[in-house]
Structure 1
Amino acid sequence: MLIKGTFVHTPRLGDLEILEDYLLAVGNDGFITHFRPVGSPESIELLRDHAAETTTVLTGSFLLPTFCDLHLHAPQFLYQGTGLDLPLMQWLDEYALKAEERLDADKILAKRVYERLARRLLQNGTGTVMLFGTIKEETNLILAEAMQSAGVRAFVGKLSMDISSRPTYVEASAEASLSSAKSFVDQCRHMMEQVPLHLRRIEPVLTPRFVPTCSDELLGSLGDLSCLESLRVQSHLAEAHDQVEWVRSVRGAEDIDIFDRYNLLNPRTVQAHCTFLKKPDLSRMVAAGSSIAHCPLSNVYFSTEPFPLREALSLHIKVGLGTDIAGGYSIDIMNAMRHAVTVSRIRESSAQAKHEKDTDDSQDTGTTYKTLAIDWKESLYLATRGGAEALTLPAKSGTFEVGSFFDAQLIQLVDPVSRSGVGALDFFDLETNGDGDVKLNQDMLEKWWCIGDTRNRVGMWVQGVKVL
């Protein structure tokens, strides 16, 4: 497959590249094999030999890497957009656990919810997702099948929890929970063995829900299993005030200490939220090689602290974005990007005011102030390349470079016939090149980032397979 047109990506934090008139080639395995300007000798040769296989991106449109969602509770999609009126620990009892129990008891409902979830993810540009499931193996296999069938690359986690505030929704013991986790891993892997290698989209993930629902025995066993079989791990870390205080009072430690003690902080780990981590804790995340799923919208609802995003990025922690359905109400990673910028600007305004006061009080602190805000281009990196790195996808994933997955979404900003903006977009000063084609610029991309929606997304590919 050859695609000719305009490509946009963020290969480095803060760097956005608009690559016009490029040619991209995709191999049968879904990896990019060529990416050069159309006028290069190699591109000219490819176009000559494979003209019939070439797709041209129309003027006013561009290709962008698909989004990565690092944290989403699949069964909670059942009540997305409702039930955000309680603190975290009460919310879990009142809404989350009930929904998860309901899907575990109703296979038909689970299939309907998960198939719709997969479709919504693709409509919103998400090609890769890390999912929390439920405690029942069969329900999580339904989830895995729904994602595989839709073409979504999904890391699926069967919940492990031998402690629960809901007596009807808990695993019988640490031993039973571990056995179920092992069984799910085996069944999930067996399912993928039936699929051609380049079309395998599903990988199992060990998923201790969080410290309050897991005994020390269970956490230790899961840590051993992760190391023994090189399995990914996902959980929640330092998320909310009531959760942090519960762990301190009941377990007598910080939850980062407990995860670390049981080898659940490792390079295969993605921890969600992390809003209460201080700088020494962030340094521990760096040393462990673990990643963080930043979920700005749900943090507003459930945490009294914003995540220290700029500090984490400055320490080179691998950070991506998560929607945290249903703790966050929007499945759209574009909204997660917007909220990430908004929260960072609030942090910046507060820090700037404090810096100015401290400077006034001391006349001269002798320090250089550094911004805590991020901009839209940095958030786009987090949603694409940053998310791919946090999930330890193959090198260069999340970009248009030779050797990376061809994971792409086709975004249309301008109708090629009417030359008017698509969806919510309006452009009054369109620039064209010598051929009369619309010339994209950063202002147009920023407008799409701010107010674009699903009407602008007209195609999706995951590892070379068209899924939308």
Structure 2
Amino acid sequence: MQAFRASILHLLGDPTTSDEAVAFHADGLLLVEDGHVVACGDHDALRDLLGDTPVEDLSGKLITPGFIDTHIHFPQVDIIAAHGAQLLDWLEQHTFPAEAAFADPAHAAETAEFFVRELLRNGTTTALVFGSVHKGSVEALFRVAQARDMRLIAGKSLMDRHAPEGLTDTVESSRADMESLIADWHGKGRLGYAVTPRFAISCSEAQLTMAGEVLAAHPGVWMQTHLSENPREIAETAALFPEAADYLDVYDRFGLLGPRSVFAHCVHLQGEAFQRLADSGGAVAFCPTSNLFLGSGLFPLETACAHGVKVGIGTDVGAGTSFSILHTLGEAYKVGQLRGSALDPFHALYLATLGGARALDLGDRIGNLAPGKEADFLVLDLAATPLLARRLAGDRSLENRLFALTVLGDDRVVERTYLAGVEQHRR
């Protein structure tokens, strides 16, 4: 058994709906065994459980659950911070050329290693990831994640139209690739597969029909795609699918709307569509940095939550501008301010941890430090920068300190990252 003594903060529920959601232990003890949490609470209440287990004293540090990134693109690492126009032009100018390089297995393997290291360095312990159209890109990513016993869900992008030569597949080839990837990797260790239509524009009706069939044939897999991100994208989708009631209905018609479906962005979704999404059990990945960077718009978080939609946070690298979930939460607050609805800091932490786990239908396994959960957790250095140390020393309020951490914090705050109780990163 491992024992860690530090301040501990995690969420037991949604703080917007429960007064008992926030669990904070100023002098806390976390006990871990066989990759799972044994106990978490006040040190004095739990010390009798220690026996002869040595305690690692991390006084002055903060332990939190690992962060969960519900939307990120593995093949876009090398185009982060690329200057360009809005979504569709940015895809043509930057994304497609970058993704074409993943036909090379050596490039995919090297990028996968960097990508996973960067996630861990920023405190991300679970991610829902887009691969390129190439089967090998997903295999390379799974190999690296499996070697670290990381909970990671990924899928190859489906594109059989409106993409450059070399980046399109066919209905037959994509079905074969997905069936092979599911057989080889889904459920292996802590890995999962996601059926991944890039978006409706890039997929023919036959391709979307096939995606729905594969999803139905493998009830444990996920589905991820983009939805209602940019006005021009929405208009082009409507022109391609004139029989659909709206953008969400496009996916629903092909059996892609369900409890393990995660839709990135949803910036321009309306209330009634949010309700249909909530009723289906589907989730939204809120990606504030990419929505601002591409000028897509301001996600109505308060509207989604009012309809009961599950929401997680997504960095959306490479249109997103940082791997850091902490930084991304700071930008989410700014989006809320522009909409006249300030994001509560405990709700922000919920989106990045237990809320993200629930968005991925994994709330019973990850997202907080409750006994029995997988021991994915972080040790945060609250004095990582002189400014952060000064700011946090001057405020005793937990709420204010957490808010300052999300605004001023970044990868430097993450001192250690643990996956299933094993240290995988130390600053």
d(CA) in 2 for partners of 1:150, 1:164 = 36
Cα contact 1:310–1:373 (8 A) shared by 2: no
Maintained 8 Å contact 1:293/1:320: yes
Structure 1 stretch 203-212 or stretch 18-27: which is displaced more?
A: 18-27
| Residue of 218, 236, 244 corresponding to 1:229 | 218
Q: Residues 195-210 of structure 1: matches in 2 within 5 Å?
A: 200-210=189-199
SS at 2:353 equivalent: helix
Matched, 1:426 2:392: no
- The change in CA–CA distance for 1:307 and 1:447 in structure 2 (over 3 A counts) is closer
Match of 1:177 in 2: 174
- Tell me, yes or no, if structure 1 residue 326 matches structure 2 residue 318: yes
Q: 2:412 aligns with which of 455, 458, 465?
A: 455
Superposition map of 1:68-87 within 5 A: 68-83=68-83, 85-87=84-86
- Distance in 2, matches of 1:325 and 1:287, equals 29
1:5 aligns with 2:2: no
- Residue of structure 1 equivalent to 2:347: 378
Cα deviation code 1:150-189 (max 9, x no counterpart): 4432101111111133123201x22222222212222224
Q: Counterpart of 2:36 in structure 1: which amino acid?
A: F
**Conserved 8 A contact 2:61-2:381:** yes
Structure 1 residue aligned with 2:300: 308
What is the alpha-carbon distance in structure 2 between the residues aligned to residue 222 and residue 428 of structure 1?
A: 50
Per-residue deviation, 1:206 = 0.8
Q: Deviation of residue 77 (structure 1)? A: 0.4
What residue in structure 1 maps to residue 290 of structure 2? 298
SS of residue in 2 equivalent to 1:26? strand
1:211 — aligned with what?
200
| Partner Cα separation in structure 2 for residue 336 and residue 440 of structure 1 | 22
- 1:247 matched to 2:237? The reply is yes
Secondary structure at the aligned position of 1:402 is classed as coil
Shift of 1:456: 2.4
Alignment of 1:318-467 (within 5 A): 318-348=310-340, 372-395=341-364, 397-414=366-383, 422-427=385-390, 430=393, 441-467=398-424
Residues 125 and 151 in structure 2, CA contact (< 8 A), matched pair in contact too: yes
Name the CA distance, whole Å, in 1 between partners of 2:125 and 2:137.
22
- How far the C-alpha of 1:448 sits from its partner, in A, is 2.3
Secondary structure at 1:22 match in 2: strand
Asked whether the equivalents of residues 262 and 284 of structure 2 are also in contact (C-alpha less than 8 Å), the reply is yes
Q: Is the 8 A contact 1:11 1:381 kept in 2?
A: no
Deviations for 1:44-95, whole angstroms, at most 9, x for unmatched residues?
A: 3322x2333x22222x211011111111110100221213x21211211111
Q: 1:175 to 1:23 in 2, by over 3 A?
A: same
Q: Deviations over 1:190-228 (max 9, x none)?
A: 8x3xxxxxxx23211110111011111121121122122
Deviates more, 1:446-455 or 1:66-75: 446-455
Q: Quickly say closer, same or farther: Cα 1:373–1:394, change in 2 above 3 A.
A: closer
Letter in 2 for 1:130: L
Structure 1 Cα separation of the partners of residues 338 and 396 of structure 2: 34
The answer on whether the counterparts of 1:423 and 1:456 sit within 8 Å (CA) in structure 2 is no
Measured after TM superposition, the shift of residue 422 of structure 1 is 4.2
Q: So what's the TM-score if we normalise by structure 2?
A: 0.92
Q: Distance in 2 between matches of 1:296 and 1:103?
A: 27
Structure 1 partner of 2:53: 51
Residue 126 of structure 2, aligned match among 128, 141, 162: 128
Distance 1:440 1:7 in 2: 15
CA contact (8 A) 1:161 1:213 kept: yes
CA RMSD between the two structures: 2.1
Gaps of 5+ in 1: 193-199, 349-371, 415-420, 432-437
TM-score w.r.t. structure 1 length? 0.84
Please state if 1:25 is matched with 2:31. Answer: yes
Distance 1:88 1:441 in 2: 38
1:160, 1:177 within 8 Å by CA — same for their partners in 2? yes
Give the 3 Å change call, closer, same or farther, for CA 154–275 of structure 1 in structure 2. Answer: same
Percent identity over the alignment? 28
Give the conservation status (yes or no) of the 8 Å contact 2:102–2:134: no
Aligned residues: 416
Alpha-carbon distance in structure 2 between the residues aligned to 1:313 and 1:373: 14
